[in-house]
Structure 1
Amino acid sequence: MPGYRSGEGDPAHTLALLWREPGFGRSSRGPKQGLTVDRIVDLAVELADQVGLDGVSMRSVAKALGVAPMSLYTYVPGKAELLDLMVDTVYLRMPRPALDQKVWRARLTAIAQQNRALFKAHPWLVEVSTARPPLGPGLMAKYEYELRAFAGLNLDDVTTDDALAYLLTFVQAASRAALTARASQRDTAMNDEQWWAANEPLLARVFDPEAYPTAVRIGSAAGAAHAAAYDADHAYTFGLARVLDGLAGLVPNDLSAIVASQQPPAV
C-alpha cells in the first residue's frame, strides 16, 4: 500500500500553486538567490530520485538549496503541497508522442510503457496514492492524452475512465513489485540465483518437497525459465498482455485481439 497520498494539503493553496496563480509562490521577503516555486520543486524531485520520499522534507530541501528552512514556507506551505507539486511536475514533463496512427492495443501499450518509464525515472512515485489527485496542468495534460488512446472504441465515458484506471493500476503495481525486487538485490548484494543457492541448504533441512508436489514442480519450472523466483520484465509483459486481452472484451467485433493476444507486447 502506498505510504504517501496526494491531495493532503490545503486545497486552495495547492491549486493556486499548481496553476501558478498570481500572488502565490512568490515572496518579497524571500532570499535574493532567485528562489522560486519551480526551483524548489525541481530540487525536491531530484532529491526524491536520489534518496526517496522519506528523505524529502522542507528542511532537507532548504539545506540542498542553501537557504533557511523557514524561507521555503513563503513559497510552499508544507510538504503535502510540495508533494502535489512534485507529482504534477513529473506528469507535465512526460513525453506525449502522437497515437493517432496506432491500433488501439498499440496505443494502450504505449501508454503503459510511458507510465512504466515514469516510475523507473522517479521510483518514489510508486509510493504515492493519487486517489485524490493533484488537479494541476500536468495531471490534466496526462489524463487528456491518455483518454485519447481509447478514441474510436465506442466506450461510454465512465467505462473509458474505468479502463484507463485499470491499465494504470496494473502498471503501478508491476512497477512497485519491480522496485521491491531491485531493492532486495541491492540490500543483500545478491541476485535471486545467488540468494537461492546460498539458502538452499537451509531450506533442505526444513522443507519436505513431497508435501507440496505442485508447488515444487511449478516453482522449479518457473525458476528455471526465469533464472529467478520473480522476473519483473516477464511479469510486466505477461500481465500487460492479459490486461489488454481483458479490455478487448469491451471492444465490439475486435478481431485484432484474437491475433494480438497470441503474442505479448514488446517490452
Structure 2
Amino acid sequence: MDADRTGAGEPSRTLALLWGEPTVPRKGPARSVAVGKVVDAALAIADEHGLAGVTMRAVAERVGIAPMSVYTYVPGKPELLDLMVDALYAGMRTPELAERSWRERITLIAEANRDLLARHPWLTEVAALSRPPLGPGVMAKYEYELSAFDGTGLADVDVDASLTYLLGFVQSHGRAAHDAVRAVTDTAMSDEGWWAANQPILVRALDPERFPRSVRIGGAAGEAQGGAWNAERAWTFGLERTLDALAALIEGRAS
C-alpha cells in the first residue's frame, strides 16, 4: 500500500489520533510537546520542501525532539499525513453561503478549495477523495460544503455525488496548475520561452495538410492564452462547464 496517501494508516489508531481519543497505554517518559506541534512541523516542511521532505526524522528535528521520540506522538507517516490533511481542512477558509444562489455557493466552495491547493500543492498528491481522514476537520468541511446544495431539491445521494464531482474538477485543476509551475521551475524556462525555443522545428514538422486541425486550433489557442495551457483560462472554462452540468441536474429535477 502507498503510504503517501490519506487512509493508508491503521484505521483505529488513525481515528483515535484524529479525534483525540486515548490509545493503547504508552510506556516511557512523558511527552514534551503536543501532537499539534508535531503536525504543524510536518506541515511547514511539506510547504517548504514538498511531500518528499516529510520524514519522521525531519519532523523530529524541526520540533526539537529525538528522532525515535516522534513515534510516541504518531505511529508513522501514514497517520501523520491524515493528521496534516485534517488540520488543513479544519483551518480552511469558509465564506458565508447564506442569501446566495446555489451557483454562487458552489462557486465559493470551488474557489476555497482551489485556494487551499494553491497554498499547499502537495495536497493533490495525498488527499484521496475515496479515503479521506475522517477527523473533525474533514467532517466540518464536508458538512459545510454539503450546505451549498441546500434548497436544490437533489436527493441525498445526488448531493454527495455532485460535491465529489465538483471537488474532482478542483483537484484535477490544482494538480495541473502545480505541474505547470514545476515545469517552469525545473527547466528554468517560462512557457513562452519554451515555445519560442521549439517554434523553428514545429514550423518544419507540423504539416498543415497532415495536421490541419492541430495547426489551426492549436495555433489559435496558443495565441489566445500564451501557450498550450493557461491556468486561469482553464479554471474559468472548466468551472463554468462543471456548474452547467450541475445545473442540468438541479434544474432538470426542479422542472
Aligned residue for 1:153? 152
Aligned residue for 2:34? 36
Q: Distance in 1 between matches of 2:4 and 2:28?
A: 32
Q: Deviations over 1:140-161 (max 9, x none)?
A: 0000000000000010000000
Q: Distance in 1 between matches of 2:49 and 2:155?
A: 42
Q: Which amino acid aligns with 1:59?
A: R
Q: Deviations over 1:144-194 (max 9, x none)?
A: 000000000010000000000000000000110011111111111222111
Q: Which amino acid aligns with 1:163?
A: S
Aligned residue for 1:208? 207
Secondary structure of 1:155's aligned partner: coil
Q: Relative to structure 1, is the Cα distance of residues 222 and 70 closer, same or farther in structure 2, using a 3 angstrom cutoff? A: same
Q: Distance in 1 between matches of 2:73 and 2:43?
A: 16
Q: Deviations over 1:83-135 (max 9, x none)?
A: 00000000000122220111000000000000000001111001112311111
Structure 1: give runs of 5+ residues left out of the alignment: 256-267
Q: Relative to structure 1, is the Cα distance of residues 145 and 25 closer, same or farther in structure 2, using a 3 angstrom cutoff? A: farther
Secondary structure of 2:106's aligned partner: helix
Q: Distance in 1 between matches of 2:24 and 2:204?
A: 65
What TM-score, normalized by structure 1, do the two folds share? 0.89
Aligned length: 252
Q: Distance in 2 between matches of 1:13 and 1:252?
A: 44
Q: Relative to structure 1, is the Cα distance of residues 26 and 94 closer, same or farther in structure 2, using a 3 angstrom cutoff? A: farther
Q: Relative to structure 1, is the Cα distance of residues 24 and 85 closer, same or farther in structure 2, using a 3 angstrom cutoff? A: farther
Q: Is the 8 A contact 1:119 1:175 kept in 2?
A: yes
Q: Distance in 1 between matches of 2:248 and 2:59?
A: 48
Secondary structure of 1:102's aligned partner: coil
Aligned residue for 1:259? none
Please state how far the C-alpha of 1:36 moved relative to its aligned partner.
1.4
Q: Is the 8 A contact 1:48 1:55 kept in 2?
A: yes
Q: Which moved more, 1:147-156 or 1:123-132?
A: 123-132
Q: Distance in 2 between matches of 1:157 and 1:253?
A: 16
Structure 2: give runs of 5+ residues left out of the alignment: none
Aligned residue for 1:8? 8
Q: Relative to structure 1, is the Cα distance of residues 172 and 130 closer, same or farther in structure 2, using a 3 angstrom cutoff? A: same
Q: Which moved more, 1:35-44 or 1:122-131?
A: 122-131
Q: Is the 8 A contact 2:3 2:77 kept in 1?
A: no
Aligned residue for 1:105? 103
Secondary structure of 2:114's aligned partner: helix
Q: Which moved more, 1:72-81 or 1:179-188?
A: 179-188
Secondary structure of 2:104's aligned partner: helix
Mapping of 1:111-260 within 5 angstroms?
A: 111-128=109-126, 129-252=128-251
Q: Distance in 2 between matches of 1:5 and 1:121?
A: 19
Question: Among the aligned pairs, what percent are the same residue?
Answer: 55
Q: Is the 8 A contact 2:13 2:23 kept in 1?
A: no
What TM-score, normalized by structure 2, do the two folds share? 0.93
Q: Relative to structure 1, is the Cα distance of residues 63 and 55 closer, same or farther in structure 2, using a 3 angstrom cutoff? A: same
Q: Is the 8 A contact 1:91 1:138 kept in 2?
A: yes
Q: Which moved more, 1:138-147 or 1:5-14?
A: 5-14
Match of 1:81 among 61, 79, 82: 79
Aligned residue for 1:53? 51
Q: Relative to structure 1, is the Cα distance of residues 24 and 103 closer, same or farther in structure 2, using a 3 angstrom cutoff? A: farther
Aligned residue for 1:19? 19
Q: Distance in 2 between matches of 1:240 and 1:254?
A: 21
Q: Which amino acid aligns with 2:76?
A: G
Please state how far the C-alpha of 1:235 moved relative to its aligned partner.
0.3
Please state how far the C-alpha of 1:25 moved relative to its aligned partner.
10
